Amino acid sequence: MTAQQVDLTAPFGGRTLPNPLTTASGCAGYGRELAKFVPLDALGSVTTKTIMPYARSGRATPRMAETPSGMLNSIGLQGAGIAHFVRNELPWLAERGARVLVSIAGERLEEFAEVAEQLNGQPGVIGLEVNISCPNVADRGLVFARNPATSYDVVRAVRRVADAELPVYAKLSPDVTSITEIAAACVQAGADGLSMINTTLGMAIDPVTMRPALAGITGGLSGPAIRPIAVRCVHQVHAEMLAGRIPQVPILAMGGLRTGLDALEFTLAGASGVAVGTTLFNDPAAPLRILDELRSELAARGFATYTDAVGYAHRPATS
């Protein structure tokens, strides 16, 4: 079997995409910069930076810091808001044939629902990624994603107002006691899929100033350093699905993906889609390279289709 014979078609919610690769939210903006390097319609989908109901300036600078095998960011969900996105960004993406997974967030349940409702019927939108790793201002600023009940409430609120045919993915945080418990709550609330993982909380201190490197003190750690954590999370959640303790839904995996071999590792753990994020900052053409490498890695192992490899690591070992 040659690499070109491998079928990369991948499931997404209740539909299929031409390949499993998307961008990780926040790493390619709304796609304009990435389009200079990669035809957006060549990707399975394009995930936008997180959209909120209103314009947001984000946190004070410095907001990014390099770390060994990764980076810290404390951007603060900077953006122009849902009205600007629908008016200016979505038409541009639709013209280029992009299949758009829109990342949404809010500081209250009502704000998540407000953004979701405004995306109904919009051209090019194929799904919603609910970024529940946001502080809940109505609950002392506690992060939605760290509590099964609040995670459930957010996903439920979005699912109630979103078009029935529009898949809703819940984006999970690794900074929890039990990611399987959060995953189960999200699926019970109506999530059609799970995105995992978001960044994990980290910190760096500048040895010159001897002060925190980020103005916000802490930030989200991304890049290759977190990939083993992401693989563990995907494997754990997929195992619970196989055991029947969580209804089976597609998993979109992210966290330090740089190569086709990384994409294969996530797939074997149980992911049926993968996202490239931090790598785009130094290699914006990476998506097409990763897809080619993934085809070769699948062919080398005798997989005729991408879906044949999903969850393969869970099969009993053979002597």
Reduced to 3 states (helix: H, G, I; strand: E, B; else coil), residue 20 is coil
E strands in 192-319:
193-196, 200-203, 205-206, 211-212, 218-222, 251-254, 273-276
The tokens describing 146, both together, are 């760290």
DSSP string across 208-239? TTTEESSTTSEEEEESGGGHHHHHHHHHHHHH
Question: Measured in whole angstroms, how far is the alpha carbon of residue 232 from the centre of its chain?
Answer: 16
Reduced to 3 states (helix: H, G, I; strand: E, B; else coil), residue 316 is coil
- Given the residues 27, 134, 186, 233, the one annotated as active site: 134
Catalytic, 134? Answer yes
The tokens describing 39, both together, are 């035809």
Task: Please enumerate in sequence order all residues whose Cβ is within 8 A of that of 227, keeping only pairs 6 or more positions apart, or say none.
Answer: 255, 256, 257, 262, 265
Query: Nearest Cα to 45, choosing from 226, 216, 169?
Result: 169
Handedness of CA 187, 189, 195, 196 (dihedral sign): negative
- Separation of alpha carbons 58 and 160, rounded Å: 29
Strands 193-196 and 251-254: parallel
Phi then psi for residue 157, to 5 deg, are -65, -40
- Separation of alpha carbons 43 and 97, rounded Å: 10
Task: Please enumerate in sequence order all residues whose Cβ is within 8 A of that of 47, keeping only pairs 6 or more positions apart, or say none.
Answer: 22, 23, 24, 25, 28, 100, 101, 102, 103, 129, 275
Residue 6's identity, in one-letter code, is: V
Catalytic (active-site) positions: 134
